[in-house]
Amino acid sequence: MPRRHVILALGLLAVTLVAVAFACRLWQRQQLTAAALAGVAPSPDVSRWPAEFARRLQADESAIRAGRQPTEALARLATLYFANGFATEAGRALATLRQLDPQDARWPYLVADLKLRAGDNAAAEVALREVTALAPGYAPAWLKLGDLLQERSAFAEAERCYTQAAAATPGEVRAAFALISFEAFHGKRGDPRQELLQLVAAHPGIKPLHDLLAQMNEAAGDAAGAATQRRLAAATPRYLPLDDPWIDELYMDCFDPNRLSLLSGKMEREGRYEAAVARLNRAIALAPAEPALRNSLAQVRIVANQPEEAVTVLRQAVVDCPDDPALRERLAMLLRTGKRHDEALAVARAAVARWPQNAAMHTALGQALREAGQFEPALATLRTALELDPTQAEAYYATGYCLFATKHRAEAKVALGKALEIRPDYAEALQLRAALAIEEGDVAAAEDPINRLMALRGGADDTRLLYAALHLIKGNLARDAGQPDEAARLYRAGLTVFPDFPHLLREAGLLARQQGHADEARRYFQQGITAAEAQGNAAQAAEFRQLLAQP
Amino acid sequence: MSPSKPQSSFPAWLGALCVVAVVALGVVGYLLFRQSATIASAAPLVSAPSAAKPAIAYEPIPIGFPVEGNPVITHVAIADLDQDGLQDVLVCDGRTDRIGWIRQFPRGVFTEQVIGDPIAGPAHVSVCDLNGDGRPDLLVASMGKIMPNNDRIGKVVVLENLGGGKFRTRVLAENIARVTDVRGVDLNGDGRVDLVVGQFGYDQGEIRWMENLGNWEFRSHTVLNQPGTIMTPVADYDGDGRPDFAALVSQDAEEVHLFRNLGGGEFRDSVLWKAKDESWGSSGLDVGDLNRDGRPDLVFSNGDGFNVGFTEPSPWHGLQWLENRGDGNFAYHRIGDMPGCYSPVLADVNGDGFTDIVAVSGFNHVNDAKAVWMTAWLNDGHQQFTPVPLAHEPTRLITLAAGDLDGNGVPVLVTGGFHAYPLASHMSRVTLWRRK
């Protein structure tokens, strides 16, 4: 065979093989592209969305059409739609991804989230079952599946889900709580109350934990324990945190400030402050002129106990959004509660000058004047505020405060009464109303606001003090009425809430001695000495020593 | 030397190999062509709006007081208040805190007058003869303030119809969480009209029914301790002859509840549907027999944009219905997407004998002439709905009512403009819409 034929043959063979290989690859790619294209929904109108969002949609869609890693491009497209609330488009892309990339549990997980949002629990359950099979270590999927199963009374399966969630995230409060909560209502094993006590000790200040413990204490006949837990629940706005990375991480793909703001609110309630701030900062970057976002950011900083950062946020906000009165009001409030009276007054005065018909601005100025101790001008300003809008609880409270401070007690009571009519849970107004009543020895008038305060924020020192003072007065009245046992009971009740209240310790000790309970009296006086010494009150300690020394 | 037979310089097998190579290259070429065609066939990113000619059209006619400032109409209702045989329009005006009566007299002439005392944040008005004197009274839900507020500034107010166009204001409940709906119906079968009261509140809200004890005395019974109630339509949902009520509960929940009347003033609450999405934006609920099976269905919308003061619509806004399958069982159906969807009402707007739905938009693109602010969802008789745009202006409509205002059996629509947010354009107060 001629050599040139051999060379030609080998060349043709090589060309053929390369062409076949190339064609196979092209064919495969085209099959994949066609499959991925099935997941691309007709493009929605995004002309009013940020250009970057439209550009990214375009880029991903083009990549799919060009067959450039179409599965990856479809995944980006799906998450982009998902993160921005385009449920129809996201749903279609995710359905295709479940076929193209069946081992990735994120796709059915996102599908489940979409279904849950639209109230389609049956479809969500199917998707979540798939997720838990693919990624048994992902606790949020177990928790959501458990909740769904519990809702439809499939308790045995739900219990298994919660157990799996707790096992997947040992030490994490959400999963542990879900299991304990389930056991408390439907379970048949263990001692959920003990477990909950441990969980509360490890994670104090989470509302659902205290709420559940209150119920369990009540069921166990522990009324005092239940009341304590209810007070703690009322005192905290914090909900259970749920770290859900597969969804949480998508916020960087979100171009909707409204959605970001809602996400941040959820995270704030869960105590995930930095995550909330990150979302709000992104939202502000997208909508820099929107004052509500600045207000939300300041709110997160306040809740996170970062008042200086909150002031910084609001200072910048009033520059960037000069036409929003609420921001000025908030800034004035923050400055006055931070005792920066001159700054607060300056901000509030400027706001009143700018919006003279806005009742809230007058109230803000009245509050700033009140806080600065300028009660007469405050009263004049608050009068204007209430003429403009007579439904402002704050204005009534501030009026009551100023009237009290200027010795107009009867008028102060009326104003506080109005504030509490509008806002029955107004803690500051309740406190002032109770203090007024205590000062006057009016037990009947003090009782209701103090009870309400105890329910609202029973752990606060000022509330405990009022409670103890009320019980001191009631105890003294009972003692003077010749009911020593009742008096002793009332003193004890006061000391349960405020064990170091010296007046109660003194009276309780004296009464105990009078009743012939020498040991008990000694304990009270001893406790009085310890408390006085701890507070550095030498004179009081000396008085208790003297009482202790008396026969 | 004899001439030799010429030797083949190109063997057949080599020719075949050439053909194979050419075919392979051809296949590659074809596949490349197909790929480029796929890329070229990409649809435009922004789909063009449908150019289909609308099957029906409505003509807007402003009625009542003229636009002054930014109108904040929170609710409109249709009723024959003076019992002259002509349907009138009732208006909750959140800007002036007044209830307006747009009286129709004579037919086709509408004149507005303010009735009763000022009512802070009126959110809903309904009509019923509460005291049995034969004259329709007005039940008004007073929020105190329309914008978010957790204070107890809500009231249940009755404008007692004294006849002759005179009304006496009676406050039946006050210092309660903001009230968003009040409806009158005899719930306990004692012959007196009781009240169903929805209270949105904010962080705290509730649903109560107020038992009519006679002589304007009422006793409240709480049936739900949860904020966010928007509407509480009454009907006999379970077909047991006793009136029940449904509730659209927003805020933290986004749920549709059914309170089944067990008799004796007892109600059983069940959640018919729930969106596990706090940004869902529930916005309106209406009751009616959509599929003509004799059972009252529920149609509800999500399109609320109140969350943080933004006024843009969201992609998930839209319309859905809960099909009543009897005995308290309901099936969910999504009808379609509609930006900023609010206040769905049921009416046969094209006269084909099937119940259609009309809904308005409270939040849409104000400066976009193509934005649709009112849409009819035409029912093909099999509960498949085709959206037909009815209005590209006026903007920001959150309330809609339908009724036979012309007395010819053709539904007339009435809308209210809610312009509490910036970007006011093409504002309206109260608009009457007649079919062209």
Inter-chain residue contact A19 with B25, CB threshold 8 Å:
yes
CB atoms under 10 Å from CB of B147, counted, come to 11
For residues B63-80, average pLDDT: 96
Q: Check: CB of residue A423 under 8 Å from CB of residue A393.
A: yes
| Cα B368 to the center of its chain, rounded Å | 22
Q: Check: CB of residue A100 under 8 Å from CB of residue A71.
A: yes
- Measured between beta carbons, the chain A residues lying within 8 angstroms of B38 are 30, 33-34, 37, 65, 67
For residues A181-200, average pLDDT: 86
Residue in B9, B22, B28, B270 to test binding to A, most A beta-carbons within 10 Å = B28
DSSP letter string over B384-432? -EEEEEEES-S--EEEEEEE-TTSSSPPEEEEEEB--SS---S--SEEE
Give the end-to-end CA distance of chain A in Å, rounded to a whole number: 133
Q: Quickly state the pLDDT bin for B7 (edges 50, 70, 90).
A: low
Angle, helix A173-185 to helix A139-151, in steps of 10 degrees: 20
Scan residues 282-311 of B and list those with Cβ closer than 8 Å to A: 305, 307-310
Output the average pLDDT for chain B: 90
pLDDT single digits (tens) B342-401: 999 999 999 999 999 999 999 888 888 889 999 999 999 999 999 999 999 999 999 999
For residue B377, give every residue at least 6 positions away whose Cβ sits within 8 Å of its Cβ, in sequence order, or none.
B319, B335, B336, B356, B357, B358, B359, B385, B386, B387, B388
pLDDT single digits (tens) B324-341: 999 899 999 999 999 999
For residues A338-359, average pLDDT: 96
Helix (H) / strand (E) containing B292: none
DSSP letter string over B55-113? S--EEEEEESSPP-SS-BEEEEEEE-TT-SSS-EEEEEETTTTEEEEEEE-STT-EEEE
- Measured between beta carbons, the chain A residues lying within 8 angstroms of B177 are none
* Closest alpha carbon within chain B to A65: B39
More confident: A136 or A13: A136
Q: Which residue do the tokens 């259970």 mark?
A: A240
A251: left (phi over 0), alpha (psi -120 to 50) or beta: alpha
For residues A183-196, average pLDDT: 83
- Measured between beta carbons, the chain A residues lying within 8 angstroms of B365 are 48
Confidence at residue B53, expressed as pLDDT on a 0 to 100 scale: 53
CB atoms under 10 Å from CB of A208, counted, come to 16
What is the rounded distance in angstroms from the CA atom of residue A223 to the CA atom of residue A229? 10
Structure tokens at A433: 């109303």
Q: Which residue do the tokens 């109409």 mark?
A: B73
Scan residues 25-44 of B and list those with Cβ closer than 8 Å to A: 25, 27-28, 31-32, 34-35, 38-39, 41-44
Q: Give me the residue from A29, A34, A85 closest to B316, CB to CB.
A: A85
More confident: B171 or B253: B171
CB atoms under 10 Å from CB of A210, counted, come to 23
What is the rounded distance in angstroms from the CA atom of residue B245 to the CA atom of residue B237? 8
- Cross-strand pairs, B271: B257
What is the rounded distance in angstroms from the CA atom of residue A117 to the CA atom of residue B281? 11
For residues A237-254, average pLDDT: 91
pLDDT higher than 50, residue A401:
yes
* CA proximity to A351, closest of A379, A332, A375, A338: A332
Lowest mean pLDDT among A239-253, A455-469, B104-118, B303-317: B303-317
Q: Check: CB of residue A401 under 8 Å from CB of residue A419.
A: no
What is the rounded distance in angstroms from the CA atom of residue A75 to the CA atom of residue A96? 9
Helix (H, G, I), strand (E, B) or coil at B235: strand
Look at chain A and count its residues.
551
What is the rounded distance in angstroms from the CA atom of residue A99 to the CA atom of residue A96? 5
pLDDT single digits (tens) B237-252: 999 999 999 999 998 7
* Closest alpha carbon within chain B to A393: B151
pLDDT higher than 90, residue A106:
yes
What is the rounded distance in angstroms from the CA atom of residue A195 to the CA atom of residue A200? 9
Burial class (CB in 10 A: 0-12, 13-18, 19+), A376: exposed
What is the rounded distance in angstroms from the CA atom of residue A122 to the CA atom of residue A100? 23
One-letter amino acid at A520 equals E
Inter-chain residue contact B312 with A258, CB threshold 8 Å:
yes
Confidence at residue A23, expressed as pLDDT on a 0 to 100 scale: 78
Backbone phi and psi for residue A201, each to the nearest 5 degrees, phi listed first:
-65, -35
Confidence at residue A82, expressed as pLDDT on a 0 to 100 scale: 96
One-letter amino acid at A325 equals P
Residue in A22, A258, A423 to test binding to B, most B beta-carbons within 10 Å = A258
Percent of chain A with pLDDT over 70: 100
What is the rounded distance in angstroms from the CA atom of residue A325 to the CA atom of residue B5? 107
Inter-chain residue contact A259 with B153, CB threshold 8 Å:
no
Q: Quickly state the pLDDT bin for B6 (edges 50, 70, 90).
A: low
* CA proximity to A510, closest of A481, A476, A539, A535: A476
The complex's ipTM works out to 0.73
What is the rounded distance in angstroms from the CA atom of residue B235 to the CA atom of residue B224? 18
Q: Check: CB of residue B260 under 8 Å from CB of residue B270.
A: yes
For residue B153, give every residue at least 6 positions away whose Cβ sits within 8 Å of its Cβ, in sequence order, or none.
A391, A422, B120, B121, B143, B144, B145, B175, B178
What is the rounded distance in angstroms from the CA atom of residue B211 to the CA atom of residue B192? 9
Confidence at residue A130, expressed as pLDDT on a 0 to 100 scale: 97
pLDDT single digits (tens) B262-289: 999 999 999 999 988 878 899 999 999 9
What is the rounded distance in angstroms from the CA atom of residue A143 to the CA atom of residue A128? 10
The CA distance from B334 to the nearest CA of chain A, in Å, is 9
Measured CA distances, A228 to A55, A237, B274 (Å): 55, 16, 33
For residues A295-306, average pLDDT: 94
* CA proximity to B113, closest of B164, B60, B180, B59: B164
- The CA angle B248-B252-B258, to the nearest 5 degrees, is 30
Inter-chain residue contact A262 with B307, CB threshold 8 Å:
yes
What is the rounded distance in angstroms from the CA atom of residue B129 to the CA atom of residue B58? 33
Structure tokens at B96: 């002036």
What is the rounded distance in angstroms from the CA atom of residue B76 to the CA atom of residue A80? 40
Inter-chain residue contact A258 with B279, CB threshold 8 Å:
yes
pLDDT higher than 90, residue A8:
no
Q: Quickly state the pLDDT bin for A235 (edges 50, 70, 90).
A: confident
Confidence at residue B41, expressed as pLDDT on a 0 to 100 scale: 55
Percent of chain B with pLDDT over 70: 91
What is the rounded distance in angstroms from the CA atom of residue A119 to the CA atom of residue A115? 6
Look at chain B and count its residues.
436
The CA distance from B23 to the nearest CA of chain A, in Å, is 8
For residue B139, give every residue at least 6 positions away whose Cβ sits within 8 Å of its Cβ, in sequence order, or none.
B125, B126, B127, B128, B130, B156, B157, B158, B182, B183, B184, B195
The answer to whether the peptide bond before residue B106 is cis (omega within 30 degrees of 0) is yes
| Cα A458 to the center of its chain, rounded Å | 19
Lowest mean pLDDT among B24-33, B94-103, B131-140, B142-151: B24-33
Q: What is the DSSP letter of A241?
A: -
Lowest mean pLDDT among A268-272, A435-439, B152-156, B423-427: B423-427
pTM: 0.80
Inter-chain residue contact A258 with B144, CB threshold 8 Å:
no
* Closest alpha carbon within chain B to A59: B45
Confidence at residue B47, expressed as pLDDT on a 0 to 100 scale: 38
Structure tokens at A263: 């996400």
Of A238-242, A289-293, B397-401, give the range with the top mean pLDDT. B397-401
CB atoms under 10 Å from CB of A48, counted, come to 12
SS3 breakdown of chain B: % helix, strand, coil, rounded to 5? 5, 45, 45
Structure tokens at B6: 């010429």
pLDDT higher than 70, residue A136:
yes
Inter-chain residue contact A5 with B312, CB threshold 8 Å:
no
